[in-house]
Amino acid sequence: MVLDANWFTEVCEEGGSAFSLKIRRKLHEEQTPYQRIEIYETETFGNLMVIDGFIMLSSRDNFLYHEMMSHPALFTHPAPRRVVIIGGGDCGTLREVLRHPEIEHVLQVEIDERVTRLAEQYFPELCEANGDPRAEFFFGDGIRWMAEAEPGSVDVIIVDSTDPIGPAKGLFTEDFYRNCHRALGEAGVVVQQSESPLYHLDILLPMHRAMRAAGFSETRSLHFPQPVYPSGWWTATMGLKGCTTDGWRRADAAGKTFPTRYYSAETHAAALAQPPFFLQALEGS
């Protein structure tokens, strides 16, 4: 992180690049038991949340991430009813999941309650569904929760985590994916944010291997733009149990009754297309 009076800059050493946003002022800063959280007001991207020096979200472009972390997985499952979100403390993914009227229960497991309380204050639009009676909050360790989850109790697991460092490192392991596989029903989907395919193949490729080793019959990375993240090109990787990406409910996606700003049946199909270099890397890994 580089900060001067007018700009917030996140340096991506592995990519040899940086991303900057012009800021008006710092709104909040605190050290929680888990991480340092900062909130800035920017000139053109609305409010900005930064954790341990890394950009988490902005008001302007978070819809890309939250819609692609939720809707493709939900429309891939044949009949989703029970959802668990690991992480996702800003509640944007929770909001998107609860747009689906067939969802009966969503449990959000977030280790740091302060992320949610600050989102309620500085990103209230993301938290508008927090009072939905289908939503339940548990502030604790998502890795431990998944290890203790009842077998077959969940339809879709969304791992909306930070990068694989610190408390989130254990969310990118074969053991964690095995616990996810056990917790899912006969048909189940796990989806996890999986970094940039341009910069982070050293994270992405092992994720695919670990998911398959854990028992998932198919893995697929969804590609989408995300301006505030390194390279501006991001992915979410799905592991499938008892269903396939070819069988996603395209007609239901096309006829959805709720608004989205990026997600559509067409963008869902486009996100499933795998760039040749990425397929070659997967096949060679």
With 90 as the cut, is the pLDDT of residue 5 above it? no
Whole-number pLDDT of residue 107: 98
- Which has more confidence, 165 or 111? 111
d(CA 157, CA 133): 19
With 90 as the cut, is the pLDDT of residue 39 above it? yes
* Cα-based torsion angle of the residue sequence 172, 175, 176, 181 in order, rounded to the nearest 10 degrees: 120
With 60 as the cut, is the pLDDT of residue 44 above it? yes
With 70 as the cut, is the pLDDT of residue 165 above it? no
Query: Is 74 in contact with 156 (CB distance < 8 Å)?
Result: yes
Point out the least confidently predicted range of 5-9, 81-85, 197-201, 268-272.
5-9
Whole-number pLDDT of residue 169: 75
Residue-wise pLDDT tens digits, 70-92: 999 999 999 999 999 999 999 99
Q: Going from the N-terminus, what domains does the chain have, and what CATH number goes with each?
A: 2-58 (2.30.140.10), 62-284 (3.40.50.150)
Average pLDDT (215-224) is: 98
Residue-wise pLDDT tens digits, 180-190: 999 999 999 99
d(CA 68, CA 45): 19
Whole-number pLDDT of residue 161: 87
The 3-state DSSP class for residue 237 equals: strand
- Which has more confidence, 166 or 224? 224
Whole-number pLDDT of residue 166: 65
Among 38, 36, 59, 41, which residue's Cα sits nearest to residue 49?
Answer: 38
Residue-wise pLDDT tens digits, 114-132: 999 999 999 999 999 999 9
SS3 content of the chain, % helix, strand, coil (to 5): 35, 30, 30
Active site residues: 160
**pTM of structure:** 0.96
Whole-number pLDDT of residue 197: 96
The mean pLDDT value of the chain amounts to 95
With 80 as the cut, is the pLDDT of residue 164 above it? no
Whole-number pLDDT of residue 3: 55
Whole-number pLDDT of residue 170: 79
